[in-house]
Amino acid sequence: MTFTDQLWQDISPIYESILKHGFVGELTEGALPTAMFQYYIQQDALYLADFSRALSLLAARSVNTDDVLQFTQFAQNAILVERALHETYFALYDIQPGTAKMPACFAYTNFLLATTSLQSVAVGAAAVLPCFWIYREVGKYIYQRAVRENPYHAWIDTYAGEAFDESVNLMLAITDRLADAAGAFEQGLMRDAFRTSSQLEWYFWNDAYTQNRWLV
Ligand SMILES: Cc1ncc(CO)c(N)n1
Ligand SMILES: Cc1ncsc1CCO
């Protein structure tokens, strides 16, 4: 069993909760209320900007120049995906720029930036891995079940597509290589970081579904 197989096994209950979440189910059916997708895509624009910064931090801190190149490319892709997807939906749903981060987005982006700044590159890589891997699995899950004429097909196609699949495979290979070079203690930190980001993925969808706002 590879290290990343172990990571996935660790988060199996979290992943099942994500698949069962109303946001994912209604997105699949094309029945997700516009306001929920609007909230999601607006927060996701803020998320992807910081996610890209987290990947750039990993690039800057990597010893291996192949990894510098790869993290730089991921960082660039995150912005390009954000622009492509969000321009479509921003126009369609009249989304306003300049919105504040809501709790899950705030928690997730701060966790990613703190971890990629202050922990080892291996632990930082484990923290960003769920963003790749969970989205690929959820994307494929939705794609297989999605209704035709789904208003969210551009989103679904991005994450269920071949280009994204290839990025995820590259990120998995980097993570396994970094884990092989890490000791038991650092591997434990990698597992914790992977689990925390996976939990935050659930919260990110849940915030959109409940239209969560700061209470004070
Ligand atoms: C919250 C979140 N996680 C992961 C991805 C995949 O890039 C995304 N767009 N948004
Ligand atoms: C993980 C991820 N999400 C959107 S772009 C990106 C990097 C893929 O190259």
pLDDT at 206: 98
Nearest atom within ligand 1 for CA of residue 48? 9
Number of structural domains found in the chain: 1
Considering the domain boundaries, does residue 125 fall inside one?
Answer: yes
Residue with the smallest CA separation from ligand 2 atom 7 is: 74
Considering the domain boundaries, does residue 162 fall inside one?
Answer: yes
Neighbours of 113 (CB within 10 A): 17
Query: Bigger pLDDT: 96 or 61?
Result: 61
Cβ atoms of residues 133 and 120 within 8 Å: no
191 token code pair: 């597992």
At residue 212, does pLDDT exceed 90? Answer: yes
Cβ atoms of residues 148 and 33 within 8 Å: no
pLDDT at 81: 93
Mutate to test the pocket of ligand 2, among 70, 112, 167 (most ligand atoms within 8 A of CB): 167
Q: What is the mean pLDDT of the chain?
A: 96
Q: Write the pLDDT tens digit of every residue in 70-107.
A: 999 999 999 999 999 888 887 787 777 678 999 999 99
At position 12, the amino acid (one-letter code) is S
Considering the domain boundaries, does residue 22 fall inside one?
Answer: no
The domain in which residue 90 lies consists of 33-210
* Geometric angle at alpha carbon 116, from 208 and 162, rounded to 5°: 60
Q: Write the pLDDT tens digit of every residue in 143-190.
A: 999 988 999 999 999 999 999 999 999 999 999 999 999 999 999 999
Q: Please report the ipTM that was assigned to this predicted complex.
A: 0.97
Considering the domain boundaries, does residue 216 fall inside one?
Answer: no
Residues with CB under 6 A from ligand 1: 44, 47-48, 131, 135, 201, 204
Mutate to test the pocket of ligand 1, among 27, 46, 47 (most ligand atoms within 8 A of CB): 47
- Percentage above 70 pLDDT, the chain: 99
pLDDT at 95: 75
- Percentage above 90 pLDDT, the chain: 92
Task: Answer whether 76 contacts ligand 2 (Cβ < 6 A).
Answer: no
Considering the domain boundaries, does residue 12 fall inside one?
Answer: no
Domain CATH code at residue 152: 1.20.910.10
Ligand 1 center to 91 CA (angstroms): 20
pLDDT at 96: 73
Nearest atom within ligand 1 for CA of residue 132? 6
> How long a stretch of residues is the chain?
216
Neighbours of 123 (CB within 10 A): 22
Average pLDDT of 17-43?
96
